[in-house]
Amino acid sequence: MNRIWKIALLLGCVCLLLPAFSLQAAGTEAAGAELAGKTLLSDLHKDYQVGCKDCHGKTKDISLDDAESGVSGACVKCHGSSLRMAERSEEKAKGKEHINPHVSHVGNMNCTACHRGHEASASYCNNCHAFNLPMSGGNAAKKTPPGAAGKSNVHKIEQADIVIVGGGAAGMTAAIVATEMKAKVILVEKNPILGGNSMLAAGGMNAAWTEYQAAKGIADSPETMFQDTMKGGQNVGDPDLVRVLAYNSDAAVKWLTAHGANISDVGRMGGASANRAHRPVGGTTVGPHVTGVLKRSVADRKIETRLNCKVIRVLKNKEGRVTGVVVQGKHSGEYTIQAKAVVFATGGFSANADMVASLQPSLKGMTTSNQPGAVGEGMVLGEQAGAKLVDMKEIQIHPTVAAGSRILISESVRGNGAILVNREGKRFVNELTTRDKASEAVLKQAGGSAFIVFDEGILKSLKQIQGYFHLGLVLGGATPQELGAAIGAPGDVLAKTIEAYNGFVDAKKDDEFQRPDMPRALRTPNYYAIEIKPGIHYTMGGLKINTATQVIDEKGNPIPGFFAAGEATGGVHGVNRLGGNSVCETIVFGRIAGANAAKTAQGIEVVPEKIEPKEPQVEPKEEPKVEPKKAS
């Protein structure tokens, strides 16, 4: 491992421990100043005659499980669930606060993710946002409770059939599939919550040959999806992996649906030649929906999940077979889980600014849309275990991150009809081109930013846009001229730009930038805009795998017992990922990894699959012919 990579990983991990990234420093400092001098929660509880045993239980020794679920359960017992706390927050604020900290796209999580008894409390949300959320017990000096500091020096050894490392969509999918195949699974996640980057996915899940496409008369095929993906990645992706992605996409949608998902709405994202981005009805964000479904499935199957537990080493025997992992628990310390198979679903490294800069110096200092846990340690640990890394320099920047924030403005907003304009009020690019080309075009504009413009019609077509208003990111006006004044662009020029675009929509042909899909014109007041800048969004490189998701070593051979899926892997997307393909990737390859890990645990040989191309078989449905009525 290159020394600079090790330094980059270390710095990335340090960032994970901070309450907020530098982009949010102003907001966090303001909250910290307001909370300065507040008492720790443990001391505040003493004022109400709440003692150690009320929170920690009546055991002789005060101890915490790594997930801190016991203490969180005590919080809920006294204060009520997150839903109840959300209601109480609303009652207390009486509509004055636009941010309710107990209602979130991350879903339910342990109270201790934010509220800590013996050290300063800090909002988990401020890892990505800059909300001023005053908290009792915030910004105080760390204090260790009596009897809780020491950890056992005994190195425990536990057993499982399969250890899955990473609790995003790929990891949870693998855990569910393996469990359904009767394997004993332990899912290990370093963060205090499940979801990873998957819970931030906004646009949709690409899939071809689905019943939802057929019902809408959309002509598509896995081979077309394959060709679009290869072209979008400049033909650098591994064709065998890309065909697995495309030809298993319909089955992935059916699998999710069988587990409770509803992604029957279909739209289009950049680089696709057909509408294939499946998303929840009404246009809500796909990530929270899919991860919510997976979390419920994990809970229903009682899959053992360990939060706040970080894998620090992969174990191998003399024959080179992976035999387990060493884990560092937040409270339990270091221990080993021996297993017959290990699945890495550890995500990418977009939030590790130093690693990104070491591979792509031109991206140094650029913000990221990722959650803070995406620092790439899975790739480092995998390489230490003998894995080959591929496409590591291929780092995607997303063209539409809200300026001054880390909030991704979903590609589905453009997919539903929004346009991009510069400070002159003019369009400058095909809004549905691939992300690399769109980002390059934005960076060439004055100020290195642009505006995504939409109207009331687009707003009503996509429910997730409401969240951008909620976060205070949207400017508006009753007319294009008023919107121009709001964003600092010539109003008459912006009006002409919108008028010209509407003409292209009417003619069903974009003569200016050859945009392939224009679902609606911008004619419904009010008019809105969000300033956007490109941000680091996805890392296409990672552990090399074959179509069975087996991790491949430097000699080109599978490492026995070692599997990987999701953004931790490389080879699927080439030099540029198409929007909508990552959610599909997590489910498709997560299912394969879970199934093959279970087979390995059962002593069944795993054989990589090679898919041969097939001709398209889906045609749009013909509209029923209506015979004209005869004149009476």
- pLDDT, position 128: 81
Using pLDDT thresholds of 50, 70 and 90, give the confidence band for residue 114.
Answer: confident
Nearest to 168 by CA among 291, 275, 333: 291
403 contact partners, CB below 8 Å, separation of at least 6: 449, 531, 532, 533
Give the number of C-alpha atoms closer than 13 A to the C-alpha of residue 101, restricted to the C-beta side: 19
pLDDT band at 121 (very low <50, low <70, confident <90, very high): confident
DSSP string, 504-563: HHHHT--TTT--S-----S-SS-EEEEEEEEEEEEE--EEEB-TT-EEEBTTS-EEEEEE
**pLDDT value for 210:** 97
What are the CA-CA distances from residue 121 to residues 54, 72, 192, 307 (Å)?
19, 14, 14, 18
| Percent of the chain whose pLDDT exceeds 70 | 87
Provide the strand spans (E) within 48-197: 156-165, 185-188
How large is the average pLDDT for residues 191-201?
94
Q: What's the pLDDT at 535? A: 95
CA distances from 478 to 85, 414, 465, 467 (A): 37, 21, 18, 20
Length of the chain (residues): 632
How buried is residue 89: exposed, middle or buried, by Cβ count under 10 Å (0-12/13-18/19+)? middle
| Among 125-139, 268-282, 401-415, 555-569, the range of highest mean pLDDT | 555-569
Pairing of strands 156-165, 333-344: parallel
| Angle formed by the axes of helices 581-601 and 249-258, nearest 10° | 80
Tens-digit pLDDT profile for residues 297-350: 999 999 999 999 999 999 999 999 999 999 999 999 999 999 999 999 999 999
Strands in 205-206's sheet, in edge-to-edge order, are: 205-206, 277-279, 265-267
Closest CA to 31 of 140, 142, 138: 138
Tokens of 110: 């342990």
Q: Rounded mean pLDDT of 188-216?
A: 95
**What average pLDDT does range 129-146 have in this prediction?**
66
pLDDT, tens digit, 9 for 90 and up, residues 387-440:
999 999 999 999 999 999 989 999 999 999 999 999 999 999 999 999 999 999
What whole-number distance in Å separates Cα of residue 16 and Cα of residue 8? 13
Do the beta carbons of residue 453 and residue 529 sit within 8 Å?
A: yes
Which residue is it, tokens 């045609």? Answer: 619
Which residue in 67, 64, 179 sits closest to 595, CA to CA? 179
For the segment 246-260, what is each residue's pLDDT rounded down to a tens digit?
999 999 999 999 999
DSSP state string for 577-626:
PPTTHHHHHHHHHHHHHHHHHHHHHTTPPP----PPP------PPPPPP-
Check residues 93 and 504 and name the one with the higher pLDDT: 504
Q: How far is CA 180 from CA 175, 195, 300, in A?
A: 9, 20, 11
Residue 520 falls in the annotated catalytic set: no
Name residue, tokens 């976060």. Answer: 471
Out of 268, 276, 427, 435, the active site residue is 435
Cis peptide before 581 (omega within 30 of 0): no
Instruction: Give alpha helix (H) positions in 155-215.
Output: 169-180, 211-215
Q: pLDDT confidence of 52, banded at 50, 70, 90?
A: confident
What pLDDT does residue 105 have?
81
pLDDT of residue 627: 42
Which of these ranges, 22-26, 260-264, 478-482, has the smallest mean pLDDT? 22-26
**Does residue 463 surpass a pLDDT of 80?**
yes
How many Å is the Cα radius of gyration of the chain?
25
Residue 238 in 3-state DSSP? coil
pLDDT value, residue 54: 83
Residue 613 CA: distances (Å) to CA of 210, 243, 549, 567? 17, 8, 20, 25
CA 286 to chain centre: 10
Residue 143's pLDDT band (cuts 50, 70, 90): low
Instruction: Give the residue from 241, 208, 245, 31 showing the smallest Cα distance to 615.
Output: 208
Find the range with the poorest average confidence among 50-59, 522-531, 576-585. Answer: 50-59
Q: Output the pLDDT for position 170.
A: 98
Is residue 348 within 8 Å of residue 169, measured between CB atoms? no
Residue 559 pLDDT level (bands cut at 50, 70, 90): very high
Contact 418, 458 (CB under 8 A): yes
Distance CA 197, CA 199 (A): 5
Greatest mean pLDDT among 90-94, 140-144, 315-319, 611-615: 315-319
* Average pLDDT for 188-197: 96
- pLDDT of 522 strictly over 70: yes
- Out of 135-144, 181-190, 256-265, 283-292, least confident range: 135-144
pLDDT of residue 283: 72
* Bigger pLDDT: 167 vs 24: 167
Mean predicted lDDT score pLDDT of the chain: 88
What are the structure tokens assigned to 251, written together?
A: 């089955």
Give the Cα separation of 606 and 623 in Å (integer).
Answer: 46
How far does Cα 52 stand from its chain's mean position? 37
Least confident range of 43-52, 73-82, 277-286, 341-350: 43-52
Contact 425, 489 (CB under 8 A): yes
The pLDDT assigned to 42 comes to 83
Q: Residue 95: pLDDT band by 50, 70, 90 thresholds?
A: low
pLDDT for 43 equals 81
Q: What is the pLDDT of residues 528-557, one digit of tens each?
A: 999 999 999 999 999 999 999 999 999 999
